[in-house]
Chain A
Amino acid sequence: MKKAIGLALAVLAMSVVATSAQGSNRITAASAAGVNCKSTITLPLVTPVTGGAGFLGAEQGSWAKYAVQTLAKPLGLKVKFVLGDTPVEQGPAPAQALAQKYVADKSVLVVLGPSTSGAVAASSSTYYAAKIAHISPSATRTSLTQGSPKEATPAFFRVVPGDYIQGPSDANYMQNVLHVKRVVLMDFQEPYSVGLSDAVEAVLKKGGVATTRLSAPNTTTDYSAYVTKVPSDADIVFFPTQKPGDAQTFAQQLIEQGKKAKVFGGDGSNDPSAFKQPGSYVSNFAPDITGIAADKALIAGWKKANPGKAVGSFGPPSYGAAQVALNAIALSCKAGHGTTTRQAVLQTIKKVKIKNWILGGSLRWSTKSNDPLNAKFYIFQIQANGSYKLVG
């Protein structure tokens, strides 16, 4: 009997907590319902905050937050910024749950992210059905917007070029500038690296370069056996890891075993504090923004709000994504005379043009897809003092 009472109490307490902590949830056809532009709009960023890719969420969160803090008021909007956590270890389930949550929340008009391509694939159809535009600052998988069938929906946008640009760009650099004869390509049995290595391999093969493909489980930390398999005449090991420390380890183990190959990392390895082996290469979708004159004030402001943190490379695109989102909301509010809907915002996204784009130049959308027009990847070489120098 006591057990039953205790049980009933527990369940009762839970439901009390749950209902008391919920807001009101009366939702009509949310996509068609008008939202008053003077009310507080919620802007979520769906990104890994905890887990192995938590550094992504930390960087992107700080930049997106800064964008909301500095851009919302001048546009006449009241915006609340929230973070939705999608730890990569849990697969797509958190992304789907969060999608449900934000679809149900009337004050959400646009979503930033999801940051990981897997999360996009899992939740894009939910957002599209609710007519919520989702702008990702880092989901670069090619099959999201290219090919057939596309894994993402027409409501998905990204402000950085996809892997279908990074792959050929890296491969062309290797062929044309580095004149490679033999390349080893690694992947880590997860979508990002597999897609990227596939893309690079295809271009290299067409160019007549000899390629070897190695595949390591995502949990690998000791790459000795893989280093052993690197042929002694290989020039480059393409290492698209999302853990820069692993790229560093690999480079060191190459030296230890006396192999001449250099490590070539993707945008996931871009971290001067963790990956700093001189002679290695890194490709990234943005030049180092500290070198762009137009961004100086912006960077100074961000640094003041985030003392002691490095600028990083994943953060600035989130600023850009937030900027696009806020501008789209403001534009559609103007067109709708004070009210707007999710549908309206979705249709306005592609009309947004940003002159002093944080990643350099200006932002224009491609007409064929929801990717930016003329985006390119930049290639850096790591110098003797560990700094990144733009070489391609």
Chain B
Amino acid sequence: MTDSTPHGMHEGPAVGQDEWVARHAERRIMPSGPLGTIEDRIRRVPWWAWLILFLAAASTLPAFSSSGYVRYVAFSTVLYMLLALGLNVVVGWGGLLDLGFVAFYGIGAYAYAILDSDKFGIHLPTLVSLPLIVVVGAIVGFLLGLPSRRLTGDYLAIVTLFFLQLFQTITTNGDDAFGHNVTGGPNGILRIDPFHLGKHDLVVQHQGIFAVSYFYVALAFFAVVFVALRFVNQSRTGRAWRSQREDPLAAEAMGMPVNWLKLMSFSFGAAVAALTGTLFAAQAASVFPLTFYFVLLIIVYTMVILGGSGSQAGVVAGALIVSPLLELLRDPGKSRVIFFVGLVGGLLLMSRRSRALGMVAIATLAFGFAVHETLGAIDKSWIAGEHQGGFAGVTDHWVVAPAHLARWIAPTSYIGLIAVVLLVTLVRGRTRLVLLVPTLYLAAFVWENVMLAKPEPARYIVLGVILIALMILRPNGLLGERRVEIV
């Protein structure tokens, strides 16, 4: 609808389409020139073309790497994408802060474990148990949503958080529920059946190496869920969700069944999570309580917020970024690479806005070398530390890496870094640029010496920082739309 027919004599939108919605695109300001044309063309590519392109690209991944590990990480990423899609329904479309989301994931996994394993001797055919579990997930989601009728955002968050804790308690203690071992307790449930079609088992491993067939099954699930949710969002339910999310009071006044909508969003999100749970349980062949807990919740939330809650493509992108990032950050060598690439890339990206940042990059480099040489001249052991992997050969000449770290250095430098970073956010203009130089260098120092020594908490610190920074700087994430809450 971007043609230039005279006002008042336009064709009109297709039957059944809302005009205001259809003319949505017109209200954007278009850049001109070749970039504008490209942007325009890209914008016109239909969503299903993007999806097919993505699926095609993803399917070729196993051709690039026959490593079971890489394929396994890819499979986990697809699982995360599914979870992100599910959470997007509740948080992005329904506007409800559901902190118990991963409990549905766990319910799906445990349900599959109970229905398809040696635990109780039940071995339902996959084609029966999968839909059953999706329905069970939807019902439990519905039940959890019931308190939402009377509770506002923060209270609902707490109730859902308690539900998560409840799930954890039940699964951990379920090995002694009135004398019956239902959930296996802390030992979990083992030897879960893989997916099977009739007599044909979808084997989980070949000689211990992850079977790539599960990756394709996951992609198929992903495609189905993506398309299904998209259709739901385009329907009147989706529009009702949007109106209820933007202004619940007005929506209710307009006659929308607000409560019913909230329950629906809980249900849909839970159903998706339960489906993902079955996939997880089948591949892992075992389930344990601790997998479905707070850490996983924060990870999925980071993906959704980073990608942009409310946008399906956004949350998928968020999962695509965060999941491999987390995996890569486990290894000090790769973490180093990520840090420096991220630093340089970030500065470059932002230097489009201000030439000064390019200067900052150069200044930091010079500053770093100066400090490195000075300290090296004072005492060789202060820079004698050697690290492996990544760019270590290069960065060891720039970052100060002592051979032995005195105990007070780690906490002092870490807290110092936080203080300086916060200070940088407080000042403006030239002071900020000048202050940025030692800050960046200190950040490199802390990363190299403190955080790479313990990759596990360091990964999560990165996530936490991403969450906080996102909410403050860009709450709509990468592809989401800025929301204004009408109070």
Interface residues of A (CB under 8 A from B): 1, 3-4, 6-7, 9-11, 13-14, 16-22, 25-27, 29-31, 49-51, 85, 87-93, 96-97, 99-101, 103-105, 118, 121-122, 125-132, 143, 149, 151, 189-191, 194, 215, 217-218
Q: Is B416 an interface residue (CB 8 A)?
A: no
Structural contact, B208 and A132, CB atoms closer than 8 A: yes
Q: Is B187 an interface residue (CB 8 A)?
A: yes
Structural contact, B456 and A49, CB atoms closer than 8 A: yes
Structural contact, A13 and B341, CB atoms closer than 8 A: yes
A-contact 0/1 string along B168-194, CB 8 Å cutoff: 010011011000000001111011000
Q: Give Cα A10 to B191, complex, Å.
A: 39
Q: Give Cα A366 to B33, complex, Å.
A: 79
User: Looking at the complex, which one of A1, A85, A100, A149 makes contact with B39 (CB distance below 8 Å)?
Assistant: A1
Looking across the interface, which residue of chain A has its beta carbon closest to that of B175? A194
* 7 smallest beta-carbon distances between A and B, as pairs: A130-B208, A91-B290, A129-B208, A25-B67, A50-B456, A91-B291, A190-B186
Q: Is B207 an interface residue (CB 8 A)?
A: yes
User: Looking at the complex, which one of B35, B66, B205, B286 makes contact with A129 (CB distance below 8 Å)?
Assistant: B205
User: Looking at the complex, which one of A22, A93, A104 makes contact with B68 (CB distance below 8 Å)?
Assistant: A104
Q: Give Cα A16 to B39, complex, Å.
A: 25
Residues of B within 8 A of A99 (CB): 208
Interface residues of B (CB under 8 A from A): 31, 35, 39, 42, 64-70, 72-73, 76, 118, 169, 172-173, 175-176, 185-188, 190-191, 205-210, 284-286, 288-291, 293, 295, 317, 320-321, 324-325, 327-328, 330-331, 333-334, 337-338, 341-342, 345, 349, 389-390, 454-457, 478-479
Structural contact, B72 and A97, CB atoms closer than 8 A: yes
User: Looking at the complex, which one of B39, B64, B66 makes contact with A27 (CB distance below 8 Å)?
Assistant: B66
Specify which of B39, B69, B288, B454 lies most central, judged by the most chain A CB atoms within 10 Å of its CB: B69
Majority-rule SS of A interface residues: helix
Structural contact, A101 and B208, CB atoms closer than 8 A: no
User: Looking at the complex, which one of A10, A22, A128 makes contact with B65 (CB distance below 8 Å)?
Assistant: A22
Residues of A within 8 A of B31 (CB): 1
Q: Give Cα A131 to B207, complex, Å.
A: 8
Q: Give Cα A217 to B479, complex, Å.
A: 42
Q: Give Cα A10 to B290, complex, Å.
A: 31
Residues of B within 8 A of A87 (CB): 456
Looking across the interface, which residue of chain B has its beta carbon closest to that of A155? B208
Q: How far is the CB of A221 from chain B (nearest CB, A)?
A: 17
Residues of A within 8 A of B67 (CB): 22, 25, 27, 104
Question: What are 10 inter-chain pairs, A to B, with CB distance below 8 A?
Answer: A1-B35, A3-B479, A27-B68, A85-B455, A91-B289, A103-B208, A118-B288, A122-B288, A189-B172, A191-B187
Looking across the interface, which residue of chain B has its beta carbon closest to that of A16? B341
Q: How far is the CB of B184 from chain A (nearest CB, A)?
A: 10
Question: Provided the pairs A27-B66, A85-B456 are in contact, do residues A121 and B187 lie with their beta carbons within 8 angstroms?
Answer: yes
User: Looking at the complex, which one of A14, A85, A128 makes contact with B330 (CB distance below 8 Å)?
Assistant: A85
Q: How far is the CB of A198 from chain B (nearest CB, A)?
A: 11
Q: Give Cα A22 to B285, complex, Å.
A: 28
Structural contact, B207 and A31, CB atoms closer than 8 A: yes
Q: Give Cα A4 to B479, complex, Å.
A: 8
Residues of B within 8 A of A4 (CB): 42, 479
Question: Provided the pairs A20-B337, A89-B290, A191-B186 are in contact, do residues A101 and B324 lie with their beta carbons within 8 angstroms?
Answer: no
Looking across the interface, which residue of chain B has its beta carbon closest to that of A122? B286
Additional pairs, 4, CB under 8 Å, beyond known A13-B342, A92-B291, A129-B206: A9-B349, A17-B334, A22-B65, A122-B286
Residues of B within 8 A of A151 (CB): 190
Q: How far is the CB of B289 from chain A (nearest CB, A)?
A: 7
Q: Give Cα A26 to B209, complex, Å.
A: 13
Structural contact, B478 and A7, CB atoms closer than 8 A: yes
User: Looking at the complex, which one of B69, B320, B349 makes contact with A11 (CB distance below 8 Å)?
Assistant: B320
Q: Give Cα A197 to B31, complex, Å.
A: 71
Looking across the interface, which residue of chain A has its beta carbon closest to that of B206? A129
Residues of B within 8 A of A104 (CB): 67-70, 209
Q: Give Cα A9 to B345, complex, Å.
A: 9
Residues of B within 8 A of A7 (CB): 317, 478-479
Q: How far is the CB of A353 from chain B (nearest CB, A)?
A: 28
Structural contact, A189 and B69, CB atoms closer than 8 A: no
Structural contact, A217 and B288, CB atoms closer than 8 A: no
Residues of B within 8 A of A20 (CB): 337
User: Looking at the complex, which one of A21, A85, A92, A218 makes contact with B328 (CB distance below 8 Å)?
Assistant: A21
Looking across the interface, which residue of chain B has its beta carbon closest to that of A15? B324
Structural contact, A17 and B338, CB atoms closer than 8 A: yes
Residues of A within 8 A of B208 (CB): 31, 99, 103, 126-132
Question: Provided the pairs A1-B39, A122-B286 are in contact, do residues A30 and B207 lie with their beta carbons within 8 angstroms?
Answer: yes
Looking across the interface, which residue of chain A has its beta carbon closest to that of B352? A2
Structural contact, B66 and A25, CB atoms closer than 8 A: yes
Structural contact, B186 and A29, CB atoms closer than 8 A: no
User: Looking at the complex, which one of B190, B207, B337, B345 makes contact with A121 (CB distance below 8 Å)?
Assistant: B190
Q: Give Cα A89 to B293, complex, Å.
A: 9
Question: Provided the pairs A6-B478, A194-B186 are in contact, do residues A22 and B70 lie with their beta carbons within 8 angstroms?
Answer: yes
Looking across the interface, which residue of chain A has its beta carbon closest to that of B306? A10
Q: Give Cα A23 to B209, complex, Å.
A: 17
Q: Give Cα A29 to B35, complex, Å.
A: 50
Question: Provided the pairs A9-B345, A13-B341, A18-B324 are in contact, do residues A90 and B291 lie with their beta carbons within 8 angstroms?
Answer: yes
Structural contact, A93 and B291, CB atoms closer than 8 A: yes
Structural contact, A14 and B321, CB atoms closer than 8 A: yes
Structural contact, B286 and A17, CB atoms closer than 8 A: no
Q: Give Cα A104 to B72, complex, Å.
A: 11
Q: Give Cα A93 to B73, complex, Å.
A: 12
Q: Give Cα A101 to B328, complex, Å.
A: 12
